[in-house]
Chains A and B, each alone.
Chain A
Amino acid sequence: MVNLEFYLQHYNYWISVLLFMIGLYTMIAKKNLIKKFLGLNIVDTSIYLFFISMGDKSKAIAPIIHGEHVDPTHYSNPLPSVLILTAIVVAIGLTATALSLSIRIYEEYGTLNSEKIEELW
């Protein structure tokens, strides 16, 4: 018997998996190069959600030490958020590279359709 409650409690991971699949599908199925890249951004976002949601829990507070004593189990884990901050910066660099390349592709080929580009190769 499948433990339905177990799966429902971890809905954040299901959302992340769903987004990952949508992103991969977009990259494969869409012909427009910018749409393909947006698919990649969706994949990246799903990974960010996966990381962030694993570091958090309900009613947790930011792990900042100030004055009064707080039970450490009430803190959320800051490390995944920090990692994802770095990963977001990396993704911005990647997006900038991809968009500037797609501008050059449009200048050279006059289209962003990947099938037409293959014909004009």
Chain B
Amino acid sequence: MLLNQNQLPILLVLIPLFGAYLAAISVLFKKKINNILSLILLSLSFFLSLLTANHVLTSGDISYHTAGLQPPFAIEIVVDPLSALMTIIITSLSLLTVIYSREFIRKELSDKRESYYYILVLLLTGGLNWFVIAGDIFNMFVGLEILSISSYSLIAIAQNKEAIASAYQYLLMGSIGSSFFLLGTGYLYIMTGTLNFADLAIRIAQLGLFNSEAIFASTAFIVTGLSIKGAIFPLHVWMPDAYSKALAPICALSSGAIIEAAVYALIRITLTVYGIEFITEIVPVKTILLWLAGIAIIIGSLYAISQSNIKRMLAYSSVSQMGYIVMGYGIGTQLGLSAGILHLFNHSIMKACLFFAVGAIAYKTGKTDLYEYEGMGDKMPVTMMFFSLAAISMVGIPPTNGFISKFYLVWASASSTRWIFAAIILVSSLLNAIYFFRIINKAYFGGGHEEASRDEAPYTMLVPIGVLAISCVVFGLAFNIPLSLIEPVAEKLMTLSLII
């Protein structure tokens, strides 16, 4: 084969990153080329991420070193099945975003801003891929900053005055998160003299640093920093403002990939660097996050019920869904971790679909408020059908993927005899049902049938919504596919031994 298989992951980063520069240059020669260019580049990345996942599953983890050195001296890129799954989520969502944006952005933004938009989406994809496959903590920070800066700009690109102010608020909070992450990295480096994940774990154990205050401080800073980025309750305050004003495809991409990637990094760092025993017994990160997640699920759902702006409602729903993911991690068993990560995968599909559908409705009718959705089932039947499919998946009705991951979560909390969390999940499903069925009820049975004439969104917008909505059902039945990528890693992370 022309390409060495070990070099696949680095291409996942380089293609979107260099593609962004290519897009910046090519727009000088031909306007409106960036949509096609980013479509091609992201299709290529998506194909490569599938190849990487296939390679990882058949012949083991990929470890790629730069500069011809061996880790910990070289920059290492590690791809195991879980990071392969994350790159699939990221590249597929950004590909769908670009397809969706073709018509959407043309209406919302001027030609000049339109080309900037695609450059930023490419940068964001490159940064996200870098963030999830980095094998050392400092490169993770650099990836985090690339994705953060491009996401601040993407939220502000909507150019209404609220979007700019909320992007500034997001920027201030997000940069505190990054600074905390960097400071935590500093504490780890000062104690161990290394930055590579695997090497950090070995050195912490060898040097017997489990009771060192500096390591405690690094845990606190890194967990807090990533919680801000991942919108984990109570550090979620930037999210509803930013999402209710940003463009719908950006909401979908942020809610489906960015906050997920931050939670993924939280799981990866705490479990590989510190190890399960440290974060369970010495610094009770897991227990704290578990209770916060329990509160987040209920509070997020209650806030979502009280909103009438649908995008804002979906943002608060994301707060509660991030709670599910963190709860799975906080339960602290292998089953719980698999359930949490499975919900991470499913949530990115469902929430992206919902944001896309809401964006399509706003594109056609300009309606963003719950009480204006009357007769929408007659006006835009296909979009509303896909919206309802994703909404019932969110509520957790079989045979959708939301049901599977919630079932796994309840099972995990019941098998570790934490009944209160099983109860929280069930109660919150009811709360989800309240705010999603309210919309479905309004759209189909809320009157307004007479004046409704059918006016469907263009195909470039319907296809991404449809693909995601159908995947909700497909992965509800074929949930073995994501689980086959999640379970080996969950097992490995939970059994990492501290005694080297």
Contact = CB atoms under 8 A, between A and B. Distances in A.
Given A50-B183, A86-B142, A97 B165 contact: no
Interface string A20-61: 100010010000010011001001100100110010000000
B183 A47 contact: yes
Interface in A89-110: 90, 93-94, 97-98, 101-102, 104-105, 108-109
Interface in B160-206: 161-162, 164-165, 167-168, 171-172, 175-176, 179, 182-183, 186, 189-190
A43 B179 contact: yes
A51 B182 CA distance: 10
Contact of B179 (A37, A40, A79): A40
Interface residues of A, number: 32
A109 B168 contact: no
B138 to A, nearest CB: 6
Nearest to A24: B176
Contacts of A90: 142, 145, 149
B171 A97 contact: yes
A80 B309 CA distance: 47
Given A97-B153, A101-B152, A54 B168 contact: no
B165 A37 contact: no
A47 B165 CA distance: 27
Given A104-B156, A109-B161, A87 B175 contact: no
Contacts of B186: 47, 50-51, 54
Contacts of B165: 105, 108-109, 117, 121
Contacts of B162: 121
* Best-surrounded residue of B148, B168, B190 (most CB of chain A within 10 A): B168
B189 A80 contact: yes
Interface string B135-153: 0001001100100110011
Contacts of A27: 172, 176
Interface in B30-64: none
Contacts of A51: 186, 189
A101 B149 contact: no
A83 interface: yes
Interface residues of B, number: 25
Contact of B149 (A83, A94, A109): A94
B168 A108 contact: no
Given A47-B182, A83-B138, A104-B156, A98 B171 contact: yes
A54 B179 CA distance: 17
B149 A97 contact: yes
Contacts of A117: 165
Contacts of B148: 94
A36 B172 CA distance: 8
Contacts of B152: 97, 101
Contacts of A83: 138, 189
A101 B167 CA distance: 8
A20 B176 CA distance: 11
Nearest to A20: B183
A33 B347 CA distance: 35
Given A37-B172, A43-B179, A108-B161, A101 B156 contact: yes
Nearest to B160: A108
B256 to A, nearest CB: 23
A100 B491 CA distance: 46
A50 B221 CA distance: 14
B153 A104 contact: no
Contacts of A87: 141, 182
Nearest to B144: A90
B153 A47 contact: no
* Best-surrounded residue of A27, A79, A101, A102 (most CB of chain B within 10 A): A101
Contacts of B182: 47, 87
A74 to B, nearest CB: 17
Contacts of B172: 27, 36-37, 40
A40 B175 contact: yes
A109 B164 CA distance: 10
A104 B96 CA distance: 30
Nearest to A27: B172
Contacts of A50: 183, 186
A80 B182 CA distance: 12
A116 B288 CA distance: 36
Contacts of B179: 40, 43-44, 47
A24 B180 CA distance: 11
5 contacts: A27-B176, A40-B172, A94-B145, A94-B148, A101-B156
Given A47-B183, A101-B152, A101-B168, 18 more contacts: A27-B176, A37-B172, A40-B179, A54-B190, A79-B189, A86-B138, A87-B141, A87-B182, A90-B142, A97-B152, A98-B171, A101-B156, A104-B156, A104-B164, A105-B165, A108-B161, A120-B161, A121-B162
- 4 shortest A-B CB distances, which residue pairs? A108-B161, A90-B145, A54-B190, A104-B164
